[in-house]
Amino acid sequence: MDTYLETERLALRRFTADDADLLIELDSDPAVMRYLTGGNPTAPEVVRECYLPRILAGYEKWGGDLGLFAAYEKDGGAFIGWFHLHPEPEGPLDEAELGYRLRQAAWGKGYATEGSRALLGKAFTELGVRMVWAATMSVNHGSRNIMEKIEMTLADTVPTPSDMEMVEGSEHGGVRYEITKEQWKQQWRGCWHSGRYALGRQGCGHVVIPTGCAGRGRRLGRVRAAAGLAGPRWRPRS
Ligand SMILES: CC(C)(COP(=O)(O)OP(=O)(O)OC[C@H]1O[C@@H](n2cnc3c(N)ncnc32)[C@H](O)[C@@H]1OP(=O)(O)O)[C@@H](O)C(=O)NCCC(=O)NCCS
């Protein structure tokens, strides 16, 4: 697997031309599509002829760094859905939209939060992104919950797109959340090591990082786990 990003429990990779069936199955669940189409599935030919070619074109456009990525459980290898991180079609490259769509079987496990948190880290440390935003229907509490858990801030309300007016709750409109690199750095304040992620996180009760760097390797595994990233970079000494 050509891994794009790894977290403690997930591996993200680029989709290929052979993956239409994964997308078709995901979009065939009315619960998954509830706040997107009102529960209607995406037609298989639309996935094959429109969605998948657009996803693959995105990798070309953004050099494989941004786009929509398939997510798998590392333990067992099950496909759980997808995450996206990419600019708007004509938007600036340093402003990226975050999104996620998971199979129902993968809900309630913290996967969406874990993947999103790791994508924020990658966006701000590796990809030159300055601001990440996400939008959803006001009534999509599951999606808003993730945005709030990764400490994005409610920035605005947005009108319901005309093609979503039949969706339950559309009369309440939508919401847009944002987080800038500066805000993210404040939350993940600390020292940087080997170009890797910041070690300390303000306001995170269960992770305590010393001001100096002595002993931080021992704690890094816990910090990386809290950040939703894969295992420790340094081995604990004992
Ligand atoms: C939106 C969506 C991704 C949210 O999925 P989710 O499973 O609720 O989100 P998470 O994976 O972060 O799971 C969070 C819940 O898992 C539970 N959980 C279990 N184990 C956990 C763990 N190890 N870590 C964190 N949370 C865990 C918690 O109860 C948590 O909920 P809480 O924070 O309210 O207590 C999912 O509902 C979905 O794919 N919906 C359809 C598509 C959609 O609407 N996408 C958004 C369009 S804008």
Note the pLDDT tens digit of each residue in 166-224.
999 999 999 999 999 999 999 877 543 333 443 334 333 223 232 333 333 334 444 44
Of 80-94, 205-219, 220-234, the range with the lowest mean pLDDT is 205-219
Cβ(4)–Cβ(13) below 8 Å: yes
Amino acid 205 reads G
- Can you tell me which atom of ligand 1 is nearest the CA of 135? 48
SS3 content of the chain, % helix, strand, coil (to 5): 35, 20, 45
| CATH fold of 3-187 | Aminopeptidase (3.40.630)
- Ligand 1 pocket, CB under 6 A: 32, 35, 100-102, 107-113, 136, 140, 142-143, 145-146, 149
10, 143, 144, best to mutate for ligand 1 pocket (most atoms within 8 Å of CB): 143
How many beta carbons lie within 10 A of that of residue 182, not counting itself? Answer: 11
Question: What are the DSSP calls for 35-101, one per residue?
Answer: HHHSSPPPPHHHIIIIIHHHHHHHHHHTTTSSEEEEEEETTT--EEEEEEEE--TTS-TTEEEEEEE
41, HSE (Cβ side, Cα atoms, 13 Å): 12
> Tokens 């769509």, residue?
101
Note the pLDDT tens digit of each residue in 12-37.
999 999 999 999 999 999 999 999 99
Residue 188's pLDDT is what?
78
Going from N- to C-terminal start, the domains of the chain cover 3-187, 199-238
Three-state secondary structure call for residue 191: coil
Provide the whole-model pTM: 0.84
Q: How confident is the model at residue 230 (pLDDT cuts 50, 70, 90)?
A: low
